[in-house]
Amino acid sequence: MSVKPYKILHIIGGGEIGGAEQHVLTLLNGIDRTRFTPHLVCLTHGPFAALARETNIPTKTLPMHFPLDLSPLPGIIRWARQKGIDLVHTHGSRANLLGRLGARWLGIPNLTTVHSSLAYDYLSPWSARMALGIDRLTLPLTSRIITVSKYLAREVALRGGRNLETIYNGQAPISFDDPTSSRHQFRIQWGIPADALVLGSIGRLHPTKGQTYLIKAATQLRLEFPTLHLLLIGDGPLRQDLEFELKQSTIPHTLTGYLPQAYKALPAMDLFVLPSVSEGMGLVLLEAMQAGVPIVASAVGGIPEVIRAGKDGLLVPPGDVAELSDACSRILDNPDLAKSLVFSGLNRWPKFSIGNMVSETEQAYARTLK
């Protein structure tokens, strides 16, 4: 007799496609359909719902209009009942609020994945405090919590999280058809000289990603490396501020805006920099490792669990422009160091596989549904 698969409802904001959305999409597509049937609710009209529908995931958008907007809750409860959902899996503070309340109302378990540090996710301290307050109130309603790094597990435990486990984000193998050709193609497309030394970063243009420190470091580095060019891939609330700062600095630069499959542009870079002030894990680092680009990143959040300092990349204190500048200079000046970091990174990234992430999440479902 075949056992019917459990139905899992994922809830996420879905207004942009960041690390959390990529993680959910990977999970939705990788899950064993004979054991679990995935469903999705997005709380914002955005590109993510369309991406999920393309892969035949039953998807519904029920928009929240402000952080404490409970109006989508009846719709979530109705849809979950109609679909016969067995477990609600939430991602992000808005999803946690509605998903935890909805699961409690339905009498079914709720599992939460924590992708980032709530204290740094917001543009204003007031919003961050409110999100943390709401999270504390609803934490007792969740049956199990997954964090994407041990650093985040410690942080969530301090605010009362229980039944915690760490499951690292998984990264699919990426194929770079012809890195040399991609390098030239992107440089031509963006008007970057062939002989330029390109410092690049990929990420939301948000205070938590620390791009302002990279701009300041690049200003210092240009005195030593006159062909330096800064490439920032991504979009977000800080775009205008960063554009203004770049114009003031007079550094040759390219701000591409949001770029689907941004990793394809990695071969255009000579150095990948992730200057975050907070980072759950830093999935983009695994892409840079595969692209064979040396890495400088902040020693913050889950990053030191991915990048072993001095081995797979150089790590610097967050917000320290002098140290950031010095680490970039060391790699740009020392091709042997760059090669050794790249070689180590190419051996390191497969440890963070999608197979591990999916099977460990399936085990967490099985334990929660017992």
pLDDT digits (tens, 9 = 90+) for 223-254: 999 999 999 999 999 999 999 999 999 899 99
Provide mean pLDDT across the span 111-121: 84
Return the C-alpha torsion angle 184, 185, 187, 188, nearest 10: 110
Provide mean pLDDT across the span 254-279: 94
Q: How many domains does the chain have?
A: 2
Q: What is the CATH number of the domain that holds 31?
A: 3.40.50.2000
For residues 111 and 249, membership in a common domain is answered with no
> CA 254 to CA 231: how far, in whole Å?
5
pLDDT digits (tens, 9 = 90+) for 340-358: 999 999 999 999 999 999 9
Tell me the pLDDT band of 200, cut-offs 50, 70 and 90.
Answer: very high
For residues 342 and 357, membership in a common domain is answered with no
For residues 240 and 364, membership in a common domain is answered with no
For residues 183 and 231, membership in a common domain is answered with yes
What pLDDT shows up at residue 2? 61
Range of the domain at 73: 6-170+353-369
Find all residues with CB under 8 Å of 305, minimum gap 6, and list them. 149, 150, 151, 168, 281
The answer, yes or no, to whether residue 26 has pLDDT greater than 60, is yes
> CA 38 to CA 48: how far, in whole Å?
15
For residues 92 and 241, membership in a common domain is answered with no
pLDDT digits (tens, 9 = 90+) for 51-84: 899 988 999 999 999 888 999 999 999 999 999 9
For residues 297 and 338, membership in a common domain is answered with yes
Return the C-alpha torsion angle 127, 129, 134, 139, nearest 10: 130
Quote the pTM value.
0.85
Find all residues with CB under 8 Å of 173, minimum gap 6, and list them. 290
